[in-house]
Structure 1
Amino acid sequence: MARVNFTTGRLAAFACPPDKAQAFLWDSGVTGLGIRATPRGAPSYIFQREFQGKSPRITIGAVANWSIPRARERAREMQRDIDQGRDPRLVKAERQAEDEATRAAARSAELTVGQVWAHYLVDRKAVWGIRHHDDHLKLAKPGGERATRGTRGRGLTIAGPLYALMGFRLADVTASVVEAWAAKEAKTRQSSARLALRCFKAFLNWCAEHEEYKTQVPLVNPAKTRRTREALGKAAAKSDVLLKEQLAEWFRAVRALQAPVMSAYLQILLLTGARRTEILDLTWKDVDTRWKSLTIRDKVEGERKIPLTPYTAQLITTLPHLKKNPFVFASATAKGGRITDPRAGMQAACKAAKIEGLTPHGLRRSFKSLTEWLEIPTGVVAQIMGHKPSATAEKHYTVRPLDMLRVHHERIELWMLEQAGIEIERDAAAINGNEVSLSRAG
């Protein structure tokens, strides 16, 4: 092979003849260093020397990207690898892997919390419920959009509690950063900040277990510090509950609401003891009028069946069916197709009934508390409400079919309606058909 001393001019003048598939030019300064050119491709530096009876050809890089001295030094490195019995192809592959790892580490170090948070939500969506996923979206939302309510007169939506952390590099999230965030959030929204902190701790735990991000977070979760917990405080136990003597006024006010869907929803929320969104998410497919049951999707077992009691059935059958809308408590204007926030209706009813501080979740608490008057078995109430069994016998040995729950649940409903002054009219046909007819007391 003819060799020439590589110079910038010679390299610029070298080209592959159009009648050949490739052409080579070899350097006289470093044995094994050459240039390969093709009719269409740009010339590249190559290195070719005998190794273990073969002559592997290894591409160094494009002539346009490598200077002559740098290409010669790389060729000498490859020759040293051969002299030491190492395959220069394997050495090159190892070097490329190391370079890629270095670049990946550099990219990872620049990732923001917001970028990793988005990956976290995608990764966990399959194992989360819809509500839990939506909560995470709201916690990190930017805010600043035009709104007509719920912004305390500002006219713009408020950023979620975690939004302030989204711009930080993940590598910069330290205990002091989280503590400063907690101290600020505690001044305006302590309750939602506590939820945000729990979610953020879980997020950082996920990062610590994820290969791509574990080098960017400390060994000790920075969201788990005493100062952060003290800044946000402990959640006080809620005690809002309907008393037995308040049932009459509360039912009267709720039944007088101008929105029949909201009226039915609030009554059913109390009479079933279900969680707020469990009833909101009811679809017509979940209502079995033949076997008198409701199928409820819950956060404990995934799904449970409870009795469709007579008065609840009557309320549901009076609700309108919106075209192509699957929800029982449908809304023609809501984006999701159903009512989303029952607080306004609840507040209006409580104001009319002169009952202060009662929330929609307080109705679930009321169901449990009011059953104490009837001495209903605790396990029955827990199964209707969707609470986890609290004892070994309940978990493994007690199986209550729907008809057994119905006996107790209908008794609970009947007692509440009697306390509310809602008369129950029965006749022989109604009794034989296991149905009751209810009307407002005169």
Structure 2
Amino acid sequence: MAAKKLTQSVVKALEPRLSDYVEWCGMLAGFGCRVRPTGSKSFIAQYRVGGRNSPTRKVTVGTYGKLTVEEAREAARAILAKAELGHDVAGDRAKQRAEMTVAQLCDEYLVDGCGHKKLSTIATDKGRIERHIKPLLGRKRVSEVKRADVEKFMRDVEKGKTAVDEKTGKYGRAIVTGGKGTATRTVRLLGGIFTYAVDRGYIETNPRLGVKVYADGKGERFLSGDELGKLGEAMREAEIDGLPWQLNEDAKAKHRPTNADSQRDMISPHAIAAIRLLLLTGCRAGEILNLKWQEVDFERGFLNLSDSKTGRKQVLISPPALQILADIPRIKGNSYVIAGEKPDKPRSDIKRPWKRITAHAGLDDLRLHDLRHSYASVGASAGMGLTIVGKLLGHASPATTARYSHFADDPLRLASNSISETISAAIGQNSKADNVVAIKSK
């Protein structure tokens, strides 16, 4: 089917897909509109210099909305005409870009190199760029950055050279830390930015190649049955009676005990509910904290999340989780399940109540994300199968769920246990009398 001539109406009607694609113009060969998964559109010109066997080159002409289709077509026509005369516009631009600073490259990457990423991921990338990459490498020219520079950058971030704790606005506070984990994740982002530069022809090799990053150090922690009991008891005490208050002279007034007479610190029912929901759903903290009432389907037992790490997803929730949701106090004018202090805003985090509860339970080393690991480990230990566990967690890849394989009993072991328990029950040597099937007498 012949391509249509690109017009304002044709470009406006182009819908985003899961990956980038180009709608080519049927009137001018080599002129097209590239559409990103985010919905952003830009005009491009594609050509060859040096004959049919030479590689194709692409040049971004401009952004839809800033240029009309006709303006972009005329600009593309000029680029294509120069290519016919042997003039490589893309090559000229690449040489110029190689002389731009790392800060300028980062700015371009956020506009043109993140089309495949979610908005929340782009926001995280922007934070790492502004807080770590620009302060340490921003002034260097892209062509000057070497492997040794990237290695030094990683060490500097790890040592905390970019760490900061400052107030942002009336309510916010920016706390930027160093450490090996931060250094590793930021270097990986930096590598992605330089990969973008290589793909665009700005530089020939990625200076991040060969740099050994620190191990993430994300040791996985799983709650035992006894620890689950301790955590549950601490939450009940925090909600009903309050936790014994420990004096902290630096604490703000709002963080001092709400009941000064008995010196007990009452924890918000919304914070308690958030922790219980994390335990009973296996959701990520952000998914629960940003959950809206309109996303809760009480009738069918689902959370219809509009956004998550893997995009839109539906979470199956159990009757105990539904009961927790039903018991959460609703705040008038606030559409969020875990309501925050500001009007129609969610609670930003539950770090403080979590720290208080886990300390009281004697589980100081427990992280919030470990609740998700524990949910998965219980499912795998119960013989549900990693495929089922992965679907409950919303994993996009089976490889992600494979970390819980050591909890899943081998099918042969499960069969062996079932047979031996049945025989043990028949001969009166039963250790699990309530969970066996008796052998029927003939």
Using structure 2 for the length normalisation, give the TM-score. Answer: 0.55
Give the Å deviation of 1:109: 4.4
**Cα gap change, 1:371/1:313 in structure 2, threshold over 3 Å: closer, same or farther?**
same
Residues 5-404 of structure 1 aligned to structure 2 (within 5 Å): 107-141=96-130, 159-160=131-132, 163-188=135-160, 189-210=179-200, 214-215=201-202, 217=203, 219-225=204-210, 228-229=211-212, 232-255=213-236, 256-257=238-239, 258-296=267-305, 297-300=307-310, 302-333=311-342, 337-388=345-396, 390=398
What is aligned with 1:414? none
Output the CA distance in 1 between the equivalents of 2:154 and 2:361.
Answer: 38
**Structure 1 SS opposite 2:137:** helix
**Structure 2 SS opposite 1:326:** coil
Output the CA distance in 2 between the equivalents of 1:242 and 1:328.
Answer: 26
Give the Å deviation of 1:104: 5.3
Output the CA distance in 2 between the equivalents of 1:167 and 1:324.
Answer: 47
**Structure 1 SS opposite 2:132:** coil
Give the Å deviation of 1:289: 1.2
The 4+ residue runs of structure 1 with deviation greater than 4 A are 96-107
Partners of 1:293 and 1:306 within 8 A in 2 = yes
Output the CA distance in 2 between the equivalents of 1:372 and 1:101.
Answer: 53
Give the Å deviation of 1:311: 2.0
Give the Å deviation of 1:126: 4.4
**Structure 1 SS opposite 2:276:** helix
What is aligned with 1:42? none
**Cα gap change, 1:109/1:204 in structure 2, threshold over 3 Å: closer, same or farther?**
closer
**Structure 2 SS opposite 1:306:** strand
Give the Å deviation of 1:137: 1.6
Give the Å deviation of 1:169: 1.8
Which has the greater radius of gyration?
Answer: 1
Output the CA distance in 1 between the equivalents of 2:90 and 2:320.
Answer: 66
Output the CA distance in 2 between the equivalents of 1:174 and 1:221.
Answer: 8
Output the CA distance in 2 between the equivalents of 1:135 and 1:362.
Answer: 22
Q: Which runs of 5+ in 2 are unaligned?
A: 1-81, 161-178, 240-266, 403-442
Partners of 1:139 and 1:163 within 8 A in 2 = no
**Structure 2 SS opposite 1:127:** coil
The residue type paired with residue 244 of structure 1 is G
**Cα gap change, 1:209/1:248 in structure 2, threshold over 3 Å: closer, same or farther?**
same
CA RMSD of aligned residues (A): 3.2
Partners of 1:120 and 1:203 within 8 A in 2 = yes
> With CA pairs under 8 Å and 6+ residues apart, which has the higher RCO, 1 or 2?
1
Partners of 2:102 and 2:134 within 8 A in 1 = no
Partners of 1:136 and 1:199 within 8 A in 2 = yes
How many equivalent pairs are there?
273
Output the CA distance in 2 between the equivalents of 1:346 and 1:385.
Answer: 22
Output the CA distance in 1 between the equivalents of 2:369 and 2:91.
Answer: 52
**Structure 2 SS opposite 1:350:** helix
Give the Å deviation of 1:292: 1.6
**Cα gap change, 1:373/1:174 in structure 2, threshold over 3 Å: closer, same or farther?**
closer
Output the CA distance in 2 between the equivalents of 1:307 and 1:100.
Answer: 53
Give the Å deviation of 1:196: 0.5
Output the CA distance in 2 between the equivalents of 1:169 and 1:250.
Answer: 52
Give the Å deviation of 1:125: 4.7
Output the CA distance in 1 between the equivalents of 2:89 and 2:187.
Answer: 35
Partners of 2:222 and 2:374 within 8 A in 1 = yes
Partners of 1:343 and 1:359 within 8 A in 2 = no
Give the Å deviation of 1:381: 1.5
**Structure 2 SS opposite 1:305:** strand
Q: Which runs of 5+ in 1 are unaligned?
A: 1-92, 142-158, 395-442
